[in-house]
Structure 1
Amino acid sequence: MTTNRSEPSNNQSQSILLAGASGVLGRHITRALTEAGHKVTGLGRGRDNGVRADLMDRDAVLRAVDGHHFDTVIHAVTALSKPPLRHRDMYATDALRIEGTAHLIEAAHATGARRFVAESMVFGYGYGDHGDRELAEDDAFGPRGTNPEFERHLAGMRTKERLTFEAPGLEGVALRYGAFYGPGGTENLLPMLRRRQLPAPADHGHVVPWVELTDAARAMVAAVEHGRPGQAYNIADRTPLGFRAHLLAVAEEFGLPKPLPVPLWMMRPMSYAHAIMASTLRVSLAKAERELGWTPVYPSAREGLAALRAAA
């Protein structure tokens, strides 16, 4: 594919600090960056990280990076060990997107980094029905939420990107990912589907973008090497799906019973999950293809799930 990148390539070997390296996405990013010839050091609380610190503790982070040099810093930290169901399940991640980003930008300055890449999400365009039009990166991002809970989440995504783009002396880039699936993620659904413990609410035409995890990691490499400073990029596959349709595809691919159908209103006690499932959102990939040279290997979840099944 012919690309039209307006920034010079940065694909020479870089020293990269990856906050969130021990997460599901972080492990894929580490592998993809290493295979591309970069040296990755993880930042986090776990023992597997080369720089050990809690991102919410500013002083601890700055002490931990003292004496280190990195070319690029990546913020891919969440506080999610499982899919968020209620609004309160997102509160710690909301804080990481605000205070944690500010702390990591200070660390980037302290280590002499030139580039800062942030994991963002397409849901920052707003929860609700966006219709059939594909949203592009110049559409409003982080609009004020329609209630205090939505505003809390949107403020986190809005602030994370603002801090990324406005950090003096840093080339800030943000990747707006769709909902993740794939190796290290989808397998967690299989026991619940096998026991028919995972209901599948009716989609009623609602769809959201998805992205397979290895595709997501390749996009991060592209952003490190080719992302234009001050720019955001939508990263998703070509086939938005409702959550019921996605669960049905997982069950079919792995030969599991179809999940029990339930009306969407029954998900309301799971307030955050209901908000996502009741949203309709499509995004354009044109900018990522044009400027990053990135395109999804798996154009839909069916191809990605088939590859996961074959690997298993």
Structure 2
Amino acid sequence: MTTNTNQDRHQQRHENQSILLAGASGVLGTHVTRALTEAGHKVTGLGRGPANGIRADLLDREALLRAVDGHSFDVVVHAATSLSRPPLRHRDMHATDALRTEGTAHLIEAARATGARRFVAESMVFGYGYGDHGEHVLTEEDTFGPPGRTAELERHLAGMRVKEQLTFAAAGLDGVALRFGAFYGPGGTDALLPLLRGRKLPVPRDHGRVLPWVELTDAARAVVAAVERGRPGRAYNIADDTPLGFGGHVRAVAERFGLPQPMTVPLWLMKPMSYAHAVMSSTLRVSTAAARRELDWTPSFPSTRDGLAAMAART
């Protein structure tokens, strides 16, 4: 009887939490809102658009603090980006880089002002560094946010590095970071379909290069797990079981949706699309053992082919 009562109390701490979600109207945020709501939490969106319960720009500190004044939340989740489509050039990432630095600092102030006790930050596996990591399987103990090889890469890496540093150092907040693989799935993969249909998305051969991927609904479940079970001060790799090269992923999308296969081009020809080139030329493998052990999270879709099949079946 005592055991059951303790379990009930433990469960109660996880349910019916009030959560402020920055980036709720974005691709990931839409899935996170649904997953948190289905788990029994109350979600309030924070962002510039009219669909948000609290409208404010994370880069405007004073306006943000005014917007949250009088509100109370248990948890704040930072999943805000400035990406309306996949980034191709380095400059496409600049606004998101700012949200990861100044925006995070401002949001942490807002979290404290609302009485929140937990702060969950969206991070990315690319924070381990763009480039070829070979066969090494990266864990959360590996260096995160190493110096970038170029000024532009350093700008992106600094954004991810600072976002995590601020998350873990925030006094009075239990900070948790989720290092996601590349996203795909409903709301994300859709943007590729017209490009493939019009044969406007060339890709290189992978030549052994692979990246971690994660389906968006799986990513959203990881956010719920971090809200409920994430250990303070911990980062978690969140990816499926089957790393795949960027070209291989795009070809799998074309095959699954019955679209023309993309044109194959040499990798050097992608250099004008500078950010995409940095991603396409990278090799990353990550371990998700910590997320499985501590968050009790496993991907529903162990490979992109599984996730794409489920997506195609729903359309």
TM-score tier, shorter chain, comes to: over 0.9
Letter in 1 for 2:302: P
Aligned residues: 306
C-alpha distance after superposition, 1:148-171 (max 9, x if no partner) = 111111100000000000000000
Q: How big is the shift at 1:9?
A: 8.3
CA–CA separation in structure 2 for the residues paired with 1:9 and 1:249: 42
1:196-215 pair list within 5 angstroms = 196-215=199-218
1:233 equivalent to 2:242? Answer no
Corresponding position of 1:108: 111
Give the deviation of 1:258 after TM superposition.
0.9
CA distance in 2, matches of 1:88, 1:309: 32
1:193 aligns with 2:196: yes
Counterpart of 2:224 (choices 205, 209, 221) is 221
CA distance in 2, matches of 1:116, 1:154: 21
Q: Are the counterparts in 2 of residues 10 and 226 from structure 1 also a CA contact under 8 Å?
A: no
Matches of 1:42 and 1:311 in 2, distance apart?
27
> For residues 116 and 68 of structure 1, what CA distance do their matches in structure 2 show?
16
CA deviation map 1:70-97 (0-9, x unaligned): 0000000001111111111111111100
Q: What amino acid maps onto 1:43 in structure 2?
A: L
User: Superposition pairs for residues 159-170 of structure 1, below 5 Å?
Assistant: 159-170=162-173
Match of 1:68 in 2: 71
**2:100, 2:160 within 8 Å by CA — same for their partners in 1?**
yes
2:56 corresponds in structure 1 to 53
SS of the equivalent of 1:130 reads strand
Match of 1:12 in 2: 15
1:29-61 Cα shifts (integer Å, max 9, x gaps): 000000000000000011111111011000000
C-alpha contact 1:9 1:225 (8 A) present in aligned 2: no
Q: Which residue in the other structure is 2:27 paired with?
A: 24
Give me the CA root mean square deviation. Answer: 1.1
**Structure 1 residue 188 displacement after superposition:** 1.4
2:138 corresponds to which of 130, 135, 140: 135
2:286 aligns to what? 283
1:243 to partner: Cα distance: 1.0
Gaps of 5+ in 2: 1-9
Alignment correspondent of 1:182:
185
Contact 1:32-1:217 within 8 A present in 2 as well: yes
Are positions 1:121 and 2:121 aligned together?
no
| C-alpha distance after superposition, 1:261-290 (max 9, x if no partner) | 111110001111000100000000100000
SS of the residue aligned with 1:134?
A: strand
Rounded to whole Å, the distance in 1 between the matches of 2:103 and 2:191 is 28
Unaligned 5+ residue runs, structure 1? 1-6
Q: Structure 1 residues 10, 135: closer, same or farther in 2, change over 3 A?
A: farther
Which structure has the higher relative contact order (CA within 8 Å, separation 6+)?
1
Task: Map 1:85-96 onto structure 2 (within 5 A).
Answer: 85-96=88-99
Cα distance between partner residues in 2 of 1:132 and 1:11? 38
CA contact (8 A) 1:10 1:224 kept: no
Q: Does 1:253 align with 2:280?
A: no
- State the distance in 1 between where 2:104 and 2:232 align: 17
Instruction: Give the C-alpha shift of residue 12 in structure 1.
Output: 2.1
Alpha-carbon shift at residue 196 of structure 1 (Å):
1.1
Residue 3 (structure 1) aligns with: none
